Amino acid sequence: MDAVLFSWREIAPEVRHFVFEVPGLAELRAEPGQFVSFRGEVNGRRVTRPYSLAGLPRGNRFELCLNRVREGLFSPWLFELEPGGRVEMQGPLGYFTPRRPFRDAVLVATGTGVAPFRAYLQAPEVTGSGAQITLLFGARYEEALLYRAEFEQLAAQNPRFRYMPTLTRPSASWQGRTGRVQAHLDEALAGRTDLDVYICGLKEMVEEVRALLKQRGFDRRQILVEKYD
């Protein structure tokens, strides 16, 4: 199956929100948290890379959120793609999906690791579940708070959703949390150990957060992870 690029826009320096469509398909079926697997030939090498769906598909259209890995192989190639360009794809695949029924949860992400959580937060089985949800999101700079306006709007509308951004390289005008997500985990947990914690991003952060949760008495079944590297 091929995906065709419909549009893209830059949402932060070196980060793009892509919209693809699958020609000939009426509806792409996916659960929040799943990814598509892209394949291509780059510099004579056959490469496969997974990308989390950054929202729920609409009809045959789906969204991705990607950052360009400077020394990377496939992400720079995808950043060269213009609307109409094709990519071979498989999926949606994967099991990093919201538990059913969805319980009170903390979602922890850094960088483009927020993509699957954007899909979670569009899903009625998550936001309509009555569960209390905290999104703890780490980025370097304020401009890199991906989908900030959407999450702030959701927090304003839904008293059960809390948005906790933190920056590692804040400007002087930033008045919010600073430092890594690890430093704010206890605030997000608010003393509770009966929550599910979903973690998505690069493995160093994922493993550190997992270790902190274990120290606080979380069972491994309460910790769901997706590692990007």
Ligand X SMILES: Cc1cc2nc3c(=O)[nH]c(=O)nc-3n(C[C@H](O)[C@H](O)[C@H](O)COP(=O)(O)OP(=O)(O)OC[C@H]3O[C@@H](n4cnc5c(N)ncnc54)[C@H](O)[C@@H]3O)c2cc1C
Q: Show contacts with ligand X in window 7-66 (CB under 6 A).
A: 35, 49-52, 64-66
Considering only the C-alpha atoms of the chain, give the largest distance between any 2 of them, rounded to a whole number of Å.
52
CB closer to ligand X, 52 vs 129: 52
CB closer to ligand X, 30 vs 66: 66
CB of 143 to ligand X, least distance (A): 16
Nearest to 52 by CA among 228, 202, 198, 224: 228
CB of 2 to ligand X, least distance (A): 18
- What is the C-alpha to C-alpha distance for residues 122 and 51, in angstroms, rounded to an integer? 18
CB closer to ligand X, 69 vs 155: 69
Residue 74 touching ligand X (CB under 6 A): yes
CB of 140 to ligand X, least distance (A): 11
CB closer to ligand X, 181 vs 189: 181
Q: Show contacts with ligand X in window 127-186 (CB under 6 A).
A: none
CB closer to ligand X, 34 vs 166: 34
Which range in 109-117, 151-159, 164-172, 212-220 contacts ligand X by CB under 6 A? 109-117
Q: Which residues lie near ligand X (CB under 6 A)?
A: 35, 49-52, 64-67, 69, 72-75, 111-112, 115, 202, 226, 228-229
